[in-house]
């Protein structure tokens, strides 16, 4: 399955992850960034 999205903002990344069932929330923004990066890597490898 090929999914093509134009991603320009942090919000775009959040919406892409949300489409795959990932809703990420932490109090610390650095934790949010790290978790989002990990999930993006896992989607890319899949």
Q: Backbone phi, then psi, for 41, in 5-degree steps? A: -65, -40
Contact of 37 with 17, CB cutoff 8 Å = no
pLDDT tens across 12-29, in order?
999 989 998 999 989 999
Contact of 24 with 36, CB cutoff 8 Å = yes
Task: Report pLDDT for 30.
Answer: 95
- Tell me if residue 40 falls in helix, strand or coil: helix
Task: Report pLDDT for 6.
Answer: 85
Q: Which pTM was predicted?
A: 0.72
């Amino acid at each position: 399955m090929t999914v093509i999205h134009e991603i320009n903002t942090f919000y775009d990344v959040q919406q892409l992850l949300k489409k795959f069932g990932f809703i990420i929330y932490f109090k610390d923004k650095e934790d949010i960034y790290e978790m989002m990066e990990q999930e993006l890597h896992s989607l890319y490898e899949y």
